[in-house]
Amino acid sequence: MSRIELDSVTKRFPDGTTAVRALDLRVGDGELLVLVGPSGCGKTTALRMIAGLEAVTSGTISIDGVVVNDVEPRHRDIAMVFQSYALYPHLSVYENMAFSLRYRGARKSEIQARVAEAARILELEPYLRRKPRELSGGQRQRVAMGRAIVRQPRAFLMDEPLSNLDAKLRVQMRAEIAQLQRSLGTTTVYVTHDQTEAMTLGTRVAVLSGGVLQQVAPPTELYRRPANLFVAGFIGSPPMNLIDARLERGDGGPLVVFGPHRLRVPPSVLAGHSGLDRYLGEPVVVGIRPEHLADAALAGAPPAGPAGGPAPGGPAAGESVIELPISLREELGSEVHLHATIGAAAHAGAAGDGDDVRSLATIVARADPRSRIAEGTIARLVVDAAELHFFDPATGASIRDG
Amino acid sequence: MIAAARSRSSRLAARRRRAGILLSLPAVALVVALLGVPIGQAVYYSMTIWNGITATWVGPSAYASTFTDPIFWRVLENNALLLLAVPFAIGIPLVIAALLNEHVRGWRFFRSVYFLPTAISWVVIGMFALRFFSATGVLNQVLAHFGLGPSATDMLAGETSALAALAITFVWSMIGTNTMIFLTGMATLDPTLIEAARVDGLSRWQIFFRVQLPLLTRFVQFAFVITVISAFSALFSLIFVMTGGGPGFGTTTLEFFVYQTGFQQVQFGTGALYGIILFVIMALVGLVQLRLIRPSDGEGW
Amino acid sequence: MAAHPGRRPLGPRLRRHVWAWALFAIMIVIAVVMLYPFWYMADNAFRSPGQFDRQSGHSLAGWSELFANLPVASQMLNSTLVCAAAIAIILVVSTSSGFAFAKLRFRGSGTVFLLVVSALMVPLQSIIIPEYVNLAKLGLTNSYAGAVLVYAALGTPFATFLMATYYRGISDELIEAAIIDGLGYERTFLRIALPLSLPAIATVTVLQFIQIWDDLLVGLLFLPPGQRTITAGLATLSAGRTTSIPALMAGSLISAVPAIVVYLIFQRHLVKGLTLGMGR
Ligand SMILES: Nc1ncnc2c1ncn2[C@@H]1O[C@H](COP(=O)(O)OP(=O)(O)OP(=O)(O)O)[C@@H](O)[C@H]1O
Ligand SMILES: [Mg+2]
């Protein structure tokens, strides 16, 4: 069992591409850390550096406190599960799993015992004599896992191990991997571009973008307190609605103003975001998760003022109602997604994009399926203002404490 | 730690480099020693007069005197005339491949039969061609049977007719290879394309000329290169068996001239010179070949 | 449409039939043209010179004359030995270098690869004189060694190209999996890459076998007369012009048999070699 530490690890390829930039990461003993991010963000590169397949340009990688920068892959005692599985096509399932042990000089009886054990755990016993091409995708995936398990390595590295499976199998294998990892207790770094997979699997999740680490946190923390616009937009499905707005002084406290809409920021939010003070009269990016927008008719909210501002009578604390035209209603059975056009600009992208093209935004509400809001009508939506997120439009950083 | 941070390539990369050099070394050594070095030597020899015992240096003027030698030009003319066979060596296989591609009954059998000459040595082919074209040969018998032509002319006896006989034999023996190339090419074509053309109302011929042929350009180019290379540097055995280069210099091509000059007249210097000229011609063809191969490999080597 | 087969005009169907039969007939004609030489050889090999002149009657006279004038058995053996040795060298050299060029790139490997492959364009005739002088000086033209080396060198560029193309098709992840499993690059080559490349190895073997078996020039110049290959032996026999035609036909036939057999068995590999050769 072991710890993996990355200290300010940078990878620059000879062609000048910087795939990973000053990455700091700690993977605790027995932990399953998920590395997630969009395509090309450097996940694979990071993993390959941990494996020793790729040299680091600067910084250090250590396993159990020992710097392994100059240690060859075979001496790092780690196992890797590749996206393509990389099973040896000319060897049987048994031989594939036994392969590494044989070259590490394990005794024959030992090899047999370990392969048998792995095959039992992964339910591969009926297939040991088969060649990889005679297996289904899921079975191949399990062989790849088995090849890693028999090694009893210090750590598992997995690069999108489920991406070649169909959706249903992926969910099933995801659960199996989680279970297996927990029962073996082997330190694991798991790479995926699928945020759902990341959230369901990881003890902690590290979000990477453009080779830069954005945030490392447990899944709920990541969801509830995204550190910046990128994480806010990346984690969650449908993604958080991000709107360019202004923070203005109102009668009963600060107001979020975008287009014709105004939302009151309840005192509880102000208390938790003391940094907001400095943004009064300034632009901010406000984030609203789709599930924090509800059909007002079902929520039992009082009628709103004509401009959608706070009702004079004072609504229930932390709630506000906005009126929006609905452009699309998607039925998902357990919920409906309502797409609404707002008379304001959507935030064009994560910080530093420099993209000034702003379009009128669509925001998505995740409503109760009993909602009768139809396409083409104006709907009244309740915003759970207690769950608003605020970001600095210039830096993209979350606005929390002053 | 600092050292680690500074090292740009890992130990693994060093190992890979070492293994790469080690594993490629034998091939490189073999090719350099037996193909590379002799080219250099040939350039040197080409500027000497050397009868196998005594060598005298002449320098580049050796080339000048060659270029004024009418026999040399006669030989080059033969090479040029052989090029006239190339369109046939490409056109006929192209038609055959198109017919095979219709997949009529038994096409697999026909394919095997048509490819067969690829496996046969030029010596054996020449052996038959010798009888075929001779005065009492099959060709004359057939012509006589149909009451055609003044029978019993030996095609191999006349300079021009001998070269023609050589060219016909050459075309026949290229059929297998080139048909194979074109059939492979046709197999890569998207069948729905042809169906689309059929739906669009194109006739069989239109489909062949307007749809299939343009898509086969690469394969035609490849076949062209292979055919030219064969015409210039693979006919030694055929000439050796059929005509011995004669009558006169009627069928002596450059490659055969090298052999005659070097090994029959033992003029190593001049022989090497002809070899170098052949090499230059081939290198030019080779550049075409390279241009054909490279785009397909993606990341250039 | 299929509901009214009777309503279908007869014209197109008939035309299709005629076309199919015409096509078949053309195929037969071409097949005859391609096969006739073999029939001619087989027919006339079993004649005496007299029978050949009359074009009637069959006998084994041609064969006995052939065996009297040409050490067929020993020359077939020479061909086999030379082929086997040269192909062995080509395989060792081209698999290892093909793997290196495809998977173990080092600085300059691209250029080196290009150099090796472009040696493909060197016509044998261009270098044959220095080659002969060099190998004769080393005393290698007194045995199989000289010819074997020349054949090996001539076959290596294309074989290397084929092998490199093949290895490039193997995923990098597979090689890396072996590295992580604890093998060095050399052993990864031997244990993983080599077994996987058996189809390409078969292709190289077949291509080279046919090439070397059928070659005349190298066999003629680099082998001592006593160790000539069957193809070279046959060509010199024919050049002597003292031998009867049936004997030469018999010789042609028997010398062609091994290559034909190999061709018939491994046709698929030949075609694949050609396709791979185009870098597809
Ligand atoms: N050998 C290389 N040379 C140059 N650039 C490279 C190399 N390998 C990767 N890159 C670049 O580094 C960046 C990160 O690549 P990486 O493969 O780590 O992405 P990834 O996060 O794994 O993406 P994906 O989800 O698509 O697998 C990309 O921009 C890629 O183009
Ligand atoms: Mg990746």
Give me the CATH number covering residue C101: 1.10.3720.10
Mean pLDDT of chain A: 85
Chain C residues near residue A53 by CB distance under 8 angstroms: 176, 179-180
Q: Residue A59: which of B5, B13, B15 has the nearest Cβ?
A: B5
CB C163 within 8 A of CB C239: no
pLDDT tens digits, one per residue of C133-150: 899 889 888 889 999 999
The enclosing H or E element of C72 equals: helix C72-103
The domain B65-293 is placed in CATH, from the list 1.10.620.20, 1.10.3720.10, 3.20.20.10, 3.40.50.300, at 1.10.3720.10
Q: Which of residues 80-119 of C touch B (CB under 8 A)?
A: 89, 92-94, 96-97, 99-101, 104-107, 109-116, 118-119
What is the DSSP track for A28-41? Answer: -TT-EEEEE-STTS
Buried b / exposed e along C153-190 (16+ C-beta atoms within 10 A)? bbbbbbbbbbbbbbbbebeebbbbbbbbbbbbbbebbe
Is B180 near chain C, with CB under 8 Å? Answer: yes
Q: Which chains touch A (3 or more CB pairs under 8 A)?
A: B, C
The HSE-up count of residue C135 (CA atoms within 13 Å, CB side) is: 27
**Measured between CA atoms, how close is C156 to chain A, in angstroms?**
26
pLDDT of residue C265: 86
Reference A19, options A3, A4, A39, A2; nearest CA is A39
Beta bridge partners of A32: A188
Give dist(CA C279, CA C270) in Å, integer.
Answer: 15
Residue A363: what pLDDT?
A: 87
Ligand 1 near A41 CB (within 6 A) = yes
- Give the nearest ligand 1 atom to A42 CA: 18
Which of B219, B258, B189 minimizes the C-alpha distance to B38? Answer: B258
3-state secondary structure string across A216-247: EECHHHHHHCCCEHHHHHHCCCCCCEEEEEEE
Q: Compute chain A's Rg from CA coordinates.
A: 25
**Does the pLDDT value for residue C71 go beyond 60?**
yes
Mean pLDDT of chain B: 82
Residue showing tokens 């500027």: B47
CB contact under 8 A, C176 and A89: no
Does residue A147's CB lie within 6 angstroms of at least one atom of ligand 1?
Answer: no
Best mutation site among A43, A53, A191 for ligand 1, i.e. most ligand atoms within 8 A of its Cβ?
A: A43
Task: Using the Cα atoms of residue A151, residue A154, residue A87 and residue A134 in order, give the sign of their dihedral.
Answer: positive
Tell if the pTM clears 0.80, that is, is over it: yes
Predicted pLDDT of residue A351? 36
Q: Are A232 and A347 contacting, i.e. CB atoms less than 8 angstroms apart?
A: no
In chain B, the percentage of residues whose pLDDT exceeds 70 is 89
**What range defines the domain where residue C126 resides?**
71-279
Q: Is C123 domain-assigned?
A: yes
Count of domains observed in chain C: 1
pLDDT of the residue at B150: 61
Q: What dihedral angle (degrees, nearest 10) is formed by the CA atoms of B64, B68, B70, B74? A: 50
Angle value at C-alpha B282, between B280 and B287, nearest 5 degrees: 95
Q: Which partners does chain B have (≥3 C-beta pairs < 8 Å)?
A: A, C
- Per-residue pLDDT tens over the stretch B99-110: 888 888 888 888
Instruction: Lowest mean pLDDT of A145-154, B285-294, C56-65, name the range.
Output: B285-294
The answer for A 33-62 residues in CB contact with B (under 8 A) is 52-60
Q: Is the pLDDT of residue B10 over 80?
A: no
CB contacts < 8 A, A to C, total: 51
Terminus-to-terminus CA distance in chain B, angstroms?
Answer: 35
A294-316 pLDDT, tens digit per residue, is 888 887 654 444 444 444 334 44
Count of B–C CB contacts within 8 Å?
Answer: 297
Note whether residue C87 is domain-resident: yes
Q: Closest residue (by CA) to atom 16 of ligand 1?
A: A42
- Give the angle subtended at the CA of B21 by the CAs of B16 and B22, to the nearest 5°: 95
Mean pLDDT, residues A165-183 taken together: 88
Cβ count near A53 (within 10 Å):
23
Q: Is the CB of A371 under 6 A from ligand 1?
A: no
Determine the pLDDT at residue A360: 55
A2 CB near ligand 1 (under 6 Å): no
Classify A392 as helix, strand or coil. Answer: coil
Is the predicted ipTM greater than 0.90, yes or no? no
pLDDT mean over A62-70: 92
Among the bound ligands, name the one nearest to the CA of residue A54: 1
A44 lines ligand 1 (CB under 6 A): yes
What does the block give as tokens for B212? Answer: 């299939």
- What's the pLDDT band for A26 if we cut at 50, 70, 90? very high
ω into A238 cis (within 30 of 0): yes
Question: Quick check: helix, strand or coil at residue A95?
Answer: helix
Structure confidence at residue A9 (pLDDT): 95
pLDDT at B292: 60
**Angle A108-121/A137-150 helices, nearest 10 degrees?**
140
Q: At residue A367, does pLDDT exceed 60?
A: yes
Q: Report domain extents, chain B.
A: 65-293
The residue ranking higher by pLDDT, A128 or C14, is A128
Does a structural domain hold residue C136?
Answer: yes
**Residues on chain A bordering chain C, Cβ-to-Cβ distance under 8 angstroms:** 51, 53, 73-74, 78-80, 82-84, 86-90, 99-100, 103-104, 147
pLDDT at C57: 78
Q: Is C65 within the bounds of a domain?
A: no
Cα(B52) to ligand 1 centroid in Å equals 61
Q: How far apart are the C-alpha atoms of C159 and A366, rounded to whole Å? A: 62
C170 touching chain A per CB within 8 A? no
Measure the CA–CA gap between C163 and C196, rounded to whole angstroms: 11
C187 interfaces chain A, CB cutoff of 8 Å = yes
Say if residue B8's pLDDT is above 80: no
Whether the ω angle into residue B247 lies within 30 degrees of 0, i.e. cis, is: yes
DSSP assignment of B158-193: SHHHHHHHHHHHHHHHHHHHHHHHHHHHHHHS-HHH
Substitution target from B2, B8, B10 for chain A, most A beta carbons within 10 A: B10
pLDDT value of residue B152: 61
Close Cβ partners of A372 (under 8 Å, ≥ 6 residues apart): A295, A297
Q: What is the identity of the amino acid at C233?
A: G
3-state secondary structure of A338: strand
d(CA A69, CA A53): 11
Residue C31 covered by a domain: no
Q: Is the pLDDT of residue B6 over 80?
A: no
Q: Confirm whether C189 is domain-assigned.
A: yes
Mean pLDDT of A223-248: 90
In a domain, C245, yes or no: yes
Q: For residue B192, is pLDDT > 80? A: no
Ligand 2 centroid distance, CA of A46 (Å):
9
Measure A141 CA to nearest chain C CA, in Å. Answer: 14
By C-alpha distance, which of A292, A349, A347 is closest to A322? A292
Q: Token pair 């399953």 is at which residue? A: A32
Token pair belonging to B21: 């050099």
CB contact under 8 A, C173 and A82: yes
> CB–CB of C91/C162 below 8 Å?
no
> Residue A86: which of C177, C182, C183 has the nearest Cβ?
C177
Could you say which DSSP state residue A346 is in? Answer: B
- Distance separating alpha carbons of residues B70 and B66, to the nearest angstrom: 8
CA distance A69 to chain B (A): 6
Around Cβ A123, how many Cβ atoms within 10 Å? 11
| φ/ψ (deg, to 5) at B252 | -80, 110
Residues near A288 by Cβ (< 8 Å), separated by ≥ 6?
A: A240, A241, A243, A363, A383, A387, A388, A389
Q: What is the pLDDT of residue B293?
A: 54
C139: left (phi over 0), alpha (psi -120 to 50) or beta: left
- What residue type is assigned to position A372 of the chain? R
Rounded mean pLDDT of A192-200? 91
Q: Judge: C180–A53 Cβ closer than 8 Å, yes or no.
A: yes
B129: Cβ contacts below 8 Å, ≥ 6 apart: B165, B169, B238, B242
Domain for residue C58, yes or no? Answer: no
